[in-house]
Amino acid sequence: MAKVSIFKAVITLLLPLVCLSFSPEEPTDRRILVLVDDFSLKSSHSIFFNSLRSRGFLLDIKLAEDPALSLQRYGQYLYDALVLFSPSTDRFGGSLDLAAVLDFVDSGHDLIIAVDASASDLIKNIATECGVDFDEDPSTVVVDHGSYAVSESDGDHTLIVSNDFIRSDVMLGETEIQAPVLFEGIAHSLNAENSLVLKVLSASPSAYSADPSSKLSSPPTLIGSAISLVSVVQARNNARIMVTGSLAMFSNRLFRSGVQKAGSPNKYPKSGNEQFVTELSKWVFHERGHLKAVNVTHHKVGETDEPLSYRINDDLDFSVEIYEWSGKSWEPYVANDVQVQFYMMSPYVLKSLSTDQKGLYHASFKVPDVYGVFQFKVEYHKLGYTSISLSKQIPVRPFRHNEYERFITTAFPYYGASFTTMAGFFIFSFVYLYQK
């Protein structure tokens, strides 16, 4: 009896969690596991955490070496996203390790990695698996004598500013980030072979990765705009990853700090960090830039029902509805670069879809004069958006025997000849048989 009631209690406790979790219909993450080296981060980075909480996320902040750490239980993931704010962790507690983090991402969950100069090999390896290579020399940080933040107490020029953002409204929001972003941390570069990883915030051309307290003996491995300060990955399964070499970037200190770039007269009372980090986290946690395509329909021009197959040279109408998740509801997605392909081994027709501004995309075209099994394909990849990849199979047949043209003018002389011969034969039969 007691067991049953405990079971019931567990179910009632778990049920809301299950309902709140990530689903294709509500793609925003809900439950986030934050791993920290030290609980003081709760307080020093509280603005960031509070902004997440106020947006409805359930944060679970744990020590990285907590022996009870686990991402999944009974094959179900307990979290939708993982935030690694634990740069110096050599080994996670519990069942969490490199492979578990990668599995978590491989199953479509999101990840934020922020490190600082104390980054451990474990965290660097996770980043490497995501296509981001941190500077291997542990003593280096990003130094920029050209675009550092004017400060009366930091003379090293390791607190640098950057406003070289990626041009993407979906990642960074529609409001332009006016004030530059303060960065204090280590450099990373993008793996050239990974085509999914993108630089969101790049360093200025005069930046370099070096140890400010010792003389440079060899050319720095990372220099100029090869240095990425913040990078993101959108995997093929739409899992989103953000990697940055500066944990301080998320801190209250840099959120609140004023900023003035060296050599620039503009003084901003507040750095762009809060806006930048908040907007980018909205993207990472799928509050933005998540698309869905529904109601794929096609039919012959003038008809409404979807046919089982098309005949070559038919005229057809194709339409699809695309919506974007706004964090709360699905809003119509408006763009002019959605394309449909009519595809068999290679696209025979590739056409841009026109939109009615309410999410409906439409195109009409003629079926090619090649028969076979075709597909309607919508492959939509746009910077920052989840990719849409849908296909619908449809056979195309040639003309039936009685569908060819029957009365060809060019053939009339032949018909005329035949029929006059027949008429002649008929008359001749009379003359031949009954002539006297």
Whole-number Å distance between alpha carbons of 44 and 116: 15
CA distance 238 to 250: 24
CB of 40 to other proteins, least distance (A): 6
Nearer to other proteins, 20 or 78 (CB): 78
Give the CA angle between residues 256, 261, 265 to the nearest 5°.
110
Nearer CB in complex with other proteins: 9/216? 216
Residues in the chain: 436
Distances 9 to 5, 20, 58, 115 between C-alpha atoms, Å: 6, 18, 21, 40
| CB of 38 or CB of 136, closer to other proteins | 38
8-state DSSP, 411: G
Smallest distance from other proteins to CB 29, Å: 22
Nearest distance from C-beta of residue 283 to other proteins, angstroms: 15
Q: Collapsing DSSP states into helix, strand and coil, what is residue 87?
A: coil
Q: Which is nearer to other proteins, 208 or 330 (CB)?
A: 208
The rounded distance, in Å, linking the Cα atoms of 186 and 116 is 6
> 315 and 301 in contact (C-beta within 8 Å)?
yes
For the bound state, the minimum distance from the C-beta of residue 64 to other proteins, rounded and expressed in Å, comes to 11
With tokens 């002539």, the residue in question is 435
Nearest distance in Å: CB 202, other proteins: 11
Using the minimum distance from each CB to other proteins, give the nearer residue, 75 or 413: 413
We find the least distance from the C-beta atom of residue 152 to other proteins, in angstroms, to be: 4
Pick 76 or 421: Cβ nearer other proteins: 421
- Shortest distance in whole angstroms from residue 216 CB to other proteins: 6
Q: Which is nearer to other proteins, 24 or 263 (CB)?
A: 263
Whichever of 7 and 419 has its CB closer to other proteins, that residue is: 419
Rounded to the nearest whole angstrom, what is the least distance from the CB of residue 329 to other proteins in the complex?
26
Q: Measured between alpha carbons, how far is residue 151 from residues 30, 160, 161 in Å?
A: 38, 10, 11
Answer whether 27's CB lies under 8 Å from 80's CB.
Answer: no
Tell me the C-alpha distance between 318 and 304, whole Å.
Answer: 11
Nearest approach in angstroms of CB 212 to other proteins is: 7
Structure tokens at 384: 């920052």
- What element of type H or E holds 369? none
Residue 98: which of 67, 121, 78 has the closest Cα?
A: 121
Phi, psi at 274, each rounded to 5°? -65, -45
| Residue 115 main-chain phi, psi, to 5 deg | -125, 175
Going by C-beta distance under 8 Å and a sequence separation of 6 or more, which residues neighbour residue 60? 31, 32, 33, 34, 79
The answer to whether 112 and 105 have CB atoms below 8 angstroms apart is no
> Are 10 and 38 within 8 A, CB to CB?
no
Q: How far is the CB of 224 from other proteins (least distance, A)?
A: 7
Residue 222 or 284 with smaller CB distance to other proteins: 222
The phi and psi torsions of 124 (rounded to 5 degrees) equal -65, -35
Q: What six digits make up the tokens of 236? A: 């093929």
Question: Considering beta carbons, is residue 18 or 216 the nearer one to other proteins?
Answer: 216
